Amino acid sequence: MKLLEYKAKEIFDKYGIPTQDGIVIDSLDGLKPKIEGMSYPVVVKAQVQAGGRGKAGGVRFAETPDEAGDISEALLHSTLKGFKVNKLLISEKVEGIRECYISITLDRMCKAPMVIFSAQGGVDIEETTKASPEKIIKVSVEPLIGIREYLIRYIINKSGLGMEYFDQMSLLVRNLYRVFNDYDCLLAEINPLMITADKKVIALDGKVDIDDSALYRLPDIMEFRNSLQEDELVLKARKFGFLYIPVDNDGNIAVMSNGSGMIMSCIDLISKHGMKVGAALDLGGGATSDRIAEAIRIILSNIGIKALFISIFGGITRCDEVAAGVKLAMESQTEDKIVVVRIEGTNKEKGLDIIKRMQGNVIPVNIIGEGVKELSGRMGWL
């Protein structure tokens, strides 16, 4: 679950991480009195679950209330990087002498949280990573020990930030680590972390990614998620415990599997053959034939999808259950859509027998590559 910036900052405020004052709007009604009392200049930021908003025109500065109103009117309900802008964050602009970067992420190699810091942050942090990797400082955190003084001193000394920032950095890193743990984060990031002229540190932006498996114990995040104006098919799939993922608005092929790694591999291969994936659906584990049939109905209800590639490794989810689900879904399918099915694992032969006896555009394949070639030929790219 990727939080919007304003929600990440609400959490930062709750944990004592300094942010600038601002307001969140989802309508232009009553906007003028809200922004007239702000200190100018201000920054108007589109709230979408995507990076690179500034370079895409989603972050703009205003010198007056009238200019802020005009920018808000232009941005609100527009489309930015494929996302509908349903909220704006309007904050007071902060002038600084240095932009830094800090994040805490889950390092799967070390099997521990990792603090990443750079004294050169901002929108060009990716370029810093490529051009000057030595300026990116990474320190693993022992979970049973947590953030200790030596870790903060190491970051400051290694980056050349200056020990006058020790107290502020110590408090900030400790509090960010509390956010990371309390909210079961995969990532808690501040970019830029601004150092102002009076040597204060302040979080100008926030990015928080939360493990979906932990949402049930985070009622405030569940409430936030339910408040988002999401794709109708995302919401429909969620009711059945599926993860529906819009991919490319121009894509006409869908991918369905029981694991994110499998889905990404299929998308990569399909893209390499010049085709575009419009959506994907992750079944999770242990899906029955009824649930698989419902998943197929959901993904094929997208009018832009003309073909579906199903790739299932049957363990908990048996191959014959998958095939029975495909059969059940296709019996009620009125549109002429192609379904390519690759199944492997428990009861594979039973599953293949069910699929081979089906009528219509349901094609069984043995491996993913064969399935992609079948799609390519059927869809007219060869």
Task: Verify whether residue 92 is a known catalytic residue.
Answer: no
Residues 156 and 158: their CA atoms lie apart, in Å, by 6
| Nearest by Cα to 365 from 345, 344, 336 | 344
Check 189, 294, 321, 374 and give the catalytic one. Answer: 189
Residues 4 and 85: their CA atoms lie apart, in Å, by 11
Helices (H), 47-182: 65-75, 125-131, 149-159, 166-182
List C-alpha distances in Å: 70 to 47, 66, 150, 240.
Answer: 17, 6, 49, 42
Residues 197 and 200: their CA atoms lie apart, in Å, by 7
SS3 254: strand
The answer to whether the CB of 259 falls within 8 A of the CB of 249 is: no
Task: Verify whether residue 101 is a known catalytic residue.
Answer: yes
The answer to whether the CB of 216 falls within 8 A of the CB of 198 is: no
Residue with tokens 């690759």: 342
Check 6, 99, 101, 294 and give the catalytic one. Answer: 101
Residues 125 and 153: their CA atoms lie apart, in Å, by 22
Residues 31 and 150: their CA atoms lie apart, in Å, by 47
List C-alpha distances in Å: 200 to 135, 154, 194.
Answer: 22, 20, 8
Q: How far apart are the first and last CA of the chain?
A: 38
Question: What are the DSSP calls for 25-57, one per residue?
Answer: ES-STTHHHHHHTS-SSEEEEE--S-S-TTTTT
Residues 21 and 195: their CA atoms lie apart, in Å, by 16
* Phi-psi sector, 241: left (phi>0), alpha (psi -120 to 50), beta: left
| Nearest by Cα to 309 from 317, 318, 300, 301 | 300
Active site residues: 101, 189
